[in-house]
Structure 1
């Protein structure tokens, strides 16, 4: 058997309890910038949702209540400041096995939501994620456009001393990852992705694993030295609940492939 085959590990063998510890070594400090504010998000084709933020708790309401999965409730949240006027809040809904990463672009009065839910079947759990746009305080104006600006880039990402990855963004909706150091060393896959442009060289990057119930949602900043921040969510099979870790990473742009589409 080759050395590569001996070192290969299936991606579904690393559960969140093994993967997540240490991923938060470079997480950004939490901000209280949203505390004391109420942000009303107006979506296309669904009722507005009003989020009222306190220091560590967010409460939300929506009308009519029958049109949304959780019309009223509260949960712990954590927010980070990405840039001035640009905040990201992570809300973990343990009662419904779901999770929201909400990007608040306060200057342009718009928001971007990555909503992930763990769906139970007769014998398995599946992850389902959607990306929603909303206007803040009114209808949607400027959109978060899908982007191809990550395509061709090869970046090494460090989440701290125990987690080191290689990412290659090969298509607008596919990327390849390879674990170099940490629990996922010797593992890799090509996964479905979605990328939206937030600002100049600033992107929302979200992906789902094919082999295990998992979603990652990161804000990638390529202004200067690459860095990222966001959250990972997965299914904890022992606790039978959704699991979350808030993460940060620094990156190195190893190289970039420029595609000449005229030759295709």
Structure 2
């Protein structure tokens, strides 16, 4: 019997992934452009939340649910006038991820609210989920849209779902040591593999979502089923780069969240079209 020359690669926690992505990376620098500004988000569903931006933290006031709080935030801008604001918000003894895509030229926004599963939810096996007709991933994401500083009208634009990425095979270089490949299969799923880095050799097909923000600028969100993970990036095919974050648990005890920025150099390898 010969020794296996290709041992099974090991799945790691999101906290360990953050450590692997930390050095010599292509993360966009944080911006303080919003410091001192007050922006009120009017949701299409009728809600309204005020956001008061400081240099490093923001105060939010949910006028619909009579709730308020303060969180540290990170703001970046991959394209002029469009900001990604990301922060964590405690809610009902659990931490939610909040990512706001603020489209200031058009005064509209998209909010992505992410929620990680409990330890008990992760113990439900994939076969049982499939038989129950449930999604295979227990990570949840909610997408909300609206306008900034004024209620939306019937004529207000909105970031809409798109299939423009479907068929692309892209390579993303996150740092000197981390590189991945994505294949966008259809409107609900994509496949990924780690070409180089702490997850080298790992690959999977996961649930995903695509929204068009502007020409050649897309919001891409994925929800992994093996290690509970919510990934969110803006993909700018015009600039050839991405900006976003990865949200999950720091370790295996399901007590501490990890929410770290990511950014990559993006290269389109090819596009597959089906007759």
User: Which has the higher mean CA deviation after the structures are superposed, 237-246 or 107-116?
Assistant: 237-246
| TM-fit CA distance, 1:127 | 2.3
1:152-163 mapped onto 2 (5 Å cutoff): 152-163=167-178
Name the residue aligned to 1:139. 151
Q: Secondary structure at the match of 2:15?
A: helix
1:160-175 mapped onto 2 (5 Å cutoff): 160-175=175-190
Q: Secondary structure at the match of 1:65?
A: coil
Q: Secondary structure at the match of 2:27?
A: coil
Q: Is the 8 A contact 2:182 2:192 kept in 1?
A: yes
Alpha-carbon RMSD across the aligned residues, in angstroms, is: 2.2
Q: Is the 8 A contact 1:97 1:241 kept in 2?
A: no
Q: Which runs of 4+ in 1 moved over 6 A?
A: 1-5
Cα distance in 2 for residues equivalent to 1:52 and 1:209: 33
Mark the runs of 5 or more structure 2 residues left unpaired by the alignment.
124-137
Q: Is the 8 A contact 2:15 2:249 kept in 1?
A: no
Name the residue aligned to 2:51. 51
Mark the runs of 5 or more structure 1 residues left unpaired by the alignment.
none
For residues 56-86 of structure 1, what are the alpha-carbon distances to aligned partners after superposition, in whole Å with 9 as ceiling and x for unaligned?
00000012326xxxx2100100101122211
Cα distance in 1 for residues equivalent to 2:228 and 2:50: 29
1:94-243 mapped onto 2 (5 Å cutoff): 96-120=94-118, 122=120, 124=122, 126-140=138-152, 141-224=156-239, 226-236=240-250, 237-238=252-253, 240-243=255-258
Give TM-score, length-normalised by structure 1.
0.88
In structure 2, do the counterparts of structure 1 residues 45 and 23 end up closer, same or farther at CA, with 3 Å as the change threshold? same
Name the residue aligned to 1:86. 82
Q: Secondary structure at the match of 2:116?
A: strand
In structure 2, do the counterparts of structure 1 residues 72 and 2 end up closer, same or farther at CA, with 3 Å as the change threshold? farther
For residues 203-239 of structure 1, what are the alpha-carbon distances to aligned partners after superposition, in whole Å with 9 as ceiling and x for unaligned?
0000000112110010000015x21000100112247
User: Which has the higher mean CA deviation after the structures are superposed, 125-134 or 172-181?
Assistant: 125-134
| TM-fit CA distance, 1:22 | 3.9
Give TM-score, length-normalised by structure 2.
0.85
Q: Secondary structure at the match of 1:211?
A: coil
